[in-house]
Structure 1
Amino acid sequence: MKIYKSKIDWWLGLILVYPIFRSIASIIQGEWIGYLGILLCLLFIVFISKSTRYIIAENQLIVKCMFIVNDRIEISKIRKIEKTNSILSSPALSLDRIAIKFNKFDEVYISPKEKQSFLNDLLEINPNIEVKV
């Protein structure tokens, strides 16, 4: 079993800029709730970054985000892997993504940090995957 972490982009921090600034403003005004806001934002960032991962186990690719197994894909059914910058919601913390196309019409967008090693491991199990990265 191999575990790959998601690549993390700087834009993820931008999403939390407003809540963090709002929390700092509360702290300046002497409200303790601001500390709670900053703590929650930091915990959210750490939790998301640590929990988004891609697991290759035997003939399966398991895509996990938080406590949810988003997809359980048989590697033998993967047809194609290609580079994408899609902004569609997905278990990826970066816009430097790959689209994994499997079965007839299914696909998932992920962003493994060690992309080449990840691809090599998939190709070792299924050398028939068409790769366009």
Structure 2
Amino acid sequence: MKTYKSKVDWWLVIIILAVFGYPIVDGILSKEYILSIVFSGILLLFYFLASMLRYKIDGEKLKIGYTSIDIKTIRKIYATRNPLSAPALSINRIAIVYNKFDEVLISPKDREDFIQELLKVNPDIIVEV
């Protein structure tokens, strides 16, 4: 089994820190510690979820979170910067088209190695990266 972490955009980290950091600092300065505690908890939850985001290639299965995709059903992989909600922490993504009409957007840190591992299992995948 091979595991790949998600690529993380620096600007996304700054936005999340700004959005959740401001109420933390404001809560401390205004002595509303409950506000700081709640937003610190939310920030820790974001960190925990982001650190757990991984893509696993286990035999003939690609596991993304709780989703399992049969690599033999993958038809195409292409580069995209689509900002739609996806299990990806970067806007620099790849789209994986599988089955007949299914698609998932991900952002593996080591994109080239990830694609090569998929091609070892299914050499018929069309790659447009």
Q: Same fold (TM over 0.5)?
A: yes
Equivalences for 1:24-103 in 2 at 5 Å? 24-64=25-65, 69=66, 71-103=67-99
Report the Cα offset of residue 51 of structure 1.
1.1
**AA paired with 2:23?**
R
TM-score by length of structure 2 reads 0.91
Residue of structure 2 in register with 1:127 after alignment: 123
Q: Deviations over 1:41-80 (max 9, x none)?
A: 441232122111111001010101xxxx0x2111011000
For the 8 Å contact 1:20–1:41, the answer to whether it is kept is no
Report the Cα offset of residue 128 of structure 1.
0.7
Provide the rounded CA distance (Å) in 1 between the counterparts of 2:125 and 2:53.
24
TM-score by length of structure 1 reads 0.88
Larger fraction in helix: 2
Provide the rounded CA distance (Å) in 1 between the counterparts of 2:45 and 2:7.
16
Report the Cα offset of residue 11 of structure 1.
3.3
What 5-or-longer segments of structure 1 have no aligned partner? none
Instruction: Count how many residue pairs are aligned between Structure 1 and Structure 2.
Output: 128
> What is the aligned-residue RMSD (CA, Å)?
1.5
- Displacement over 6 Å in runs of 4+: none
Provide the rounded CA distance (Å) in 2 between the counterparts of 1:76 and 1:23.
47
**AA paired with 1:60?**
K
Provide the rounded CA distance (Å) in 1 between the counterparts of 2:108 and 2:49.
14
